[in-house]
Amino acid sequence: MNSTECTVSSVSTESREWISLAEACRLVGRSVSSVKSIAAAGGIRTDALPGCRLRYSRADAQRLAERLRSPA
């Protein structure tokens, strides 16, 4: 989704399944720009809120954090 487009999701989900950008950054251990890039590439699902704000999938962020922390 580019910065000029915003589609608010009508999907009804529990709020604890979704987290803020700041919380996603803390969980993944990456910067705001990195998490936004990862989400844009499909690595973390997002859900649009009114005002074109995004919330991020907690499960996706946790999986990514685990993958980044495990030795290669």
pLDDT in tens, 12-30: 456 689 999 999 999 999 9
Which residues have a Cβ under 8 Å from the Cβ of 21 and sit 6 or more positions away? 32, 35, 36, 54, 56
Cα separation, 2 vs 19, in Å, equals: 20
Amino acid letter, 50 = P
- What dotted CATH number matches 16-69? 1.10.1660.10
Cα separation, 41 vs 29, in Å, equals: 18
For residues 28 and 68, is the Cβ–Cβ distance under 8 A?
A: yes
Entry pTM: 0.76
Which parts of 1-72 are beta strand (E)?
18-19, 46-49, 53-57
Model pLDDT, residue 6: 60
